[in-house]
Amino acid sequence: MSEPKTPTPSPAGDTYKGWVFKWTNYIKGYQRRWFVLSNGLLSYYRTQAEMGHTCRGTINLATATITVDDACNFVISNGGTQTYHLKASCEVERQRWITALELAKAKAARMQAESDDSGDDFPPTSAPTVPGQGGASQNSEVQSALRTLGSKVEDLSTCNDLISKHGTALQRSLSELDSLRLTGEAGDKIRQVTERATLFRITSNAMINACRDFLALAQAHSKRWQKALQAERDQRVRLEETLEQLAKQHNHLERAFRGAAQANATADNKSTAGSRKGEASDEDDDNEFFDAMEEAPEFITVPADPQFHKRSSSNISGFNSEICPDDQSLNDEPLAMNQESPSQELVPLKKRRTRIPDKPNYSLNLWSIMKNCIGKELSKIPMPVNFNEPISMLQRLSEDLEYHELLDKAAKCHNSLEQLCYVAAFSVSSYSTTVYRTGKPFNPLLGETYELDRLRESGYRSLCEQVSHHPPAAAHHVISDRGWTLRQEITVASKFRGKYLSIMPLGTIHAIFEKGEHHYTWKKVTTTVHNIIVGKLWIDQSGEIDVVNHTTGDRCHLKFAPYSYFSRDVARKVTGVVMDKTGKAHYVLSGTWDEKMEFSRVMQSSRGGENGTEGKQKTVYQTLKAREVWRRNPLPDGAETMYYFTALALTLNETEEGVSPTDSRRRPDQRLMEDGRWDEANAEKQRLEEKQRSVRREREREAASQRTSSQSEEAVDEDSDLSLKSAHHDNYEARWFSKCEDQITGEQVHLYKGGYWETKDRGNWEDCPDIF
């Protein structure tokens, strides 16, 4: 009857073809014909080959009626001389044709109505003149989109009518069956089907009502939406024209300012040769000049006059003589091995791993977990390992040493201001590992440690310990045989706000250099994870950092520009100025926290024009050519399947012999996750957390017992110190760090008290708690 490959009609389908039997006469009866439904017209042919040249008949469905005779027969008539009596091979096939014909009829009726009053629904609107007739074409696209939307809404209305009509017919047929008063199992089945049909009718009626409400609302607001869309488009065109004019004015002001600055420098120098060179260098100004952030520019840098390159080192604050030879040595020296220990070169270094098991592709409904966590501390939310990466927060802190070479170079600097440039670059480099890392590190257990012994390869040893659980705090201490020490205690405060996650590291980072006894401090900026619920996760860093030299009073102010859709500046931009204790600028830093940083020597500074409505003046720095101080290392091959780990991160969880029993490498849930056994890792994670809670409850009971005993002794001795009442409120003490007051910042911090590496050499870990 009909071809097996005939496509099933859909409400949005424009063309439907297939074989159907058509009544011819009483002699021949029903004969098979090839029917084609397209653009509101139903045509038929004897064979498919006739479609190209001979059509046997056509009916316009816009004015036709469609009736159903029985299970397989149906009739199509235009009320005149054309009437087709058709028969399908089965009831299902007949219903397919009926559905396609009903939809085509409704669409043809709409098209005929639109042709009668074309232009009424979409009157021509005046659009701003844009080059290339862009406004007219966009207006045409908007009208076309609105017509398409209206057509789809009409299709939805037609489907509603069909559901209502067929549902009523189904209910009537079932009622007729029920009236036959069948007994036994057949009657029970009919009643069951009747009940289900009733539920279907109720559900369909609800859907029909909802669709009818939507249709009425869409029709009521369609013209309003069209006007709003047209107004938005007009406003966008006006904004584009305004921005273009502002850009031209801005460029003109820049050129005028550079010309004035060049003229002033030439007049001050009174050198005709220098003037000619300055005019020649103006051709390269566009390539060397750059501006700060558009939102709140604090300073502008311009290339220094060529005369500065010819001055002797004695005329530049006595500093250039120290920089030039030392900088060359810092850039060229490999720093791969401590020069004071040449015998170490004969010992082969341990080969580190370069791959970990690929991340499994497990799906998880994030919203089902996150919807109950809004407003809570991230550290207090029970998370499955699906959101983690297979390293702990202690190992993530150790990743700050990815670019330890910057501190090695800083330790060799003879000048504190240049040393500050390297320290500032090091503070920025720690964020380069986060650009693709959207996974959450494991929260360390209380007493958990992590060592990173790179003494032979890179000359440093690092130790981290989780010293507090609520709030979570980790102490970190690094000692290098190349003349520097790094320490920090970081407490992470985080809030989930529905659309994004804010991570605010609290605490101060210290860098101490043996040469000159320079002591630097700085803090971390806020990390924001966007698109938590919908969309692709991405990370941004924003805020300001002050790197302070407490020995000399020098300071570097760094600004991390937050991402802005409207900014024409580069993304992830970082700018900074290195100043001495008097506030005089010596260096300007610029770059991005995910790629590279450069610094330029400031030769002269001046105050520029006003900055917008705030009335602030921007400082203009004339600088020498910028030099690259740091560049991010490329990711290993296949990093996208290994959590986007860097070369150092791939080695952090590698098993090593002789480490402490509390080391993160021995944590079982983290190891199971790295091996791809996430279900087992989730179960193990719950076990470890429950064990930690039990230990904490036992510790609280001991503290309460000690407080009770202390209060009893105070009752006997009334002159005892009242501070004893809270002396044992929390009796937990870190194993390798001791709590004290920082002499620089005045904060309560944990400082390394020594003994870890000596204990490791002895191999005696009896005093370490059993936390795993």
SS (H, E, C) 373-405: CCCCEHHHCCCCHHHEEEEEHHHHHHHHHHHCH
Instruction: Give the whole-angstrom CA distance, residue 308 versus residue 320.
Output: 11
CA triplet 767, 771, 772: central angle to 5 degrees?
125
pLDDT at position 720: 41
CA triplet 514, 520, 521: central angle to 5 degrees?
145
CA-nearest of 520, 585, 566, 611 to 575 is: 585
Q: Which residues in the chain show pLDDT less than 70?
A: 1-14, 114-147, 149-150, 153, 178-185, 261-298, 300-302, 304-347, 363-382, 608-617, 710-730
pLDDT at position 438: 85
* Residue type, position 521, single letter: T
CA triplet 501, 503, 508: central angle to 5 degrees?
175
Is 222 buried (19+), middle (13-18) or exposed (0-12) by CB count in 10 A?
Answer: middle
Instruction: Give the whole-angstrom CA distance, residue 608 versus residue 294.
Output: 15
Instruction: Give the whole-angstrom CA distance, residue 267 versus residue 308.
Output: 14
User: Hey, is 513 helix, strand or coil?
Assistant: strand
| Cis omega (within 30 of 0) for bond into 471 | yes
pLDDT at position 9: 41
Instruction: Give the whole-angstrom CA distance, residue 113 versus residue 102.
Output: 17
* Residue type, position 550, single letter: H
Give me the long-range contacts of 199-208 (CB less than 8 A, separation at least 24): 200/167, 200/170, 201/167, 201/170, 201/171, 204/163, 204/164, 204/167, 205/164, 205/167, 207/160, 207/163, 208/160, 208/163, 208/164
Q: Is the distance from CB of 578 to CB of 420 less than 8 angstroms?
A: yes
pLDDT at position 71: 75
Instruction: Give the whole-angstrom CA distance, residue 263 versus residue 249.
Output: 21
pLDDT at position 588: 95
CA-nearest of 278, 321, 316, 308 to 622 is: 308
Instruction: Give the whole-angstrom CA distance, residue 451 versus residue 476.
Output: 10
- Domains in the chain and their CATH numbers? 15-113 (2.30.29.30), 363-608+618-688 (2.40.160.120)
Instruction: Give the whole-angstrom CA distance, residue 552 versus residue 518.
Output: 8
Instruction: Give the whole-angstrom CA distance, residue 492 versus residue 10.
Output: 55
Q: Is the distance from CB of 302 to CB of 623 less than 8 angstroms?
A: yes
Instruction: Give the whole-angstrom CA distance, residue 224 versus residue 747.
Output: 60
Within 13 Å and on the Cβ side, how many CA atoms surround 180? 12
User: Hey, is 653 helix, strand or coil?
Assistant: coil
* Residue type, position 381, single letter: I
Determine the longest span between alpha carbons in the chain, in angstroms: 126
Instruction: Give the whole-angstrom CA distance, residue 672 versus residue 662.
Output: 17
Please indicate, yes or no, whether the overall pTM of this predicted structure exceeds 0.85: no
Instruction: Give the whole-angstrom CA distance, residue 681 versus residue 128.
Output: 62
* Residue type, position 705, single letter: S
Q: How far is Cα of residue 633 from the mean position of the Cα atoms in its chain?
A: 21
Instruction: Give the whole-angstrom CA distance, residue 399 versus residue 48.
Output: 71
Instruction: Give the whole-angstrom CA distance, residue 344 versus residue 342.
Output: 5
pLDDT at position 331: 43
Look up residue 164 and give its two tokens: 């209502």
* Residue type, position 513, single letter: F
Between strands 440-442 and 449-454, the pairing is unpaired
Q: Which helix (H) or strand (E) holds 269?
A: helix 185-269
Give whole-number Cα distances, 751 to 245, 356, 399, in Å. 58, 34, 20
Instruction: Give the whole-angstrom CA distance, residue 463 versus residue 752.
Output: 9
H helix count then E strand count, the chain: 16, 28
pLDDT at position 627: 93
Give the model confidence (pLDDT) of 471-528 as tens digits: 889 999 999 999 999 999 999 888 877 778 888 999 999 999 998 899 999 999 999 9
Instruction: Give the whole-angstrom CA distance, residue 88 versus residue 589.
Output: 79
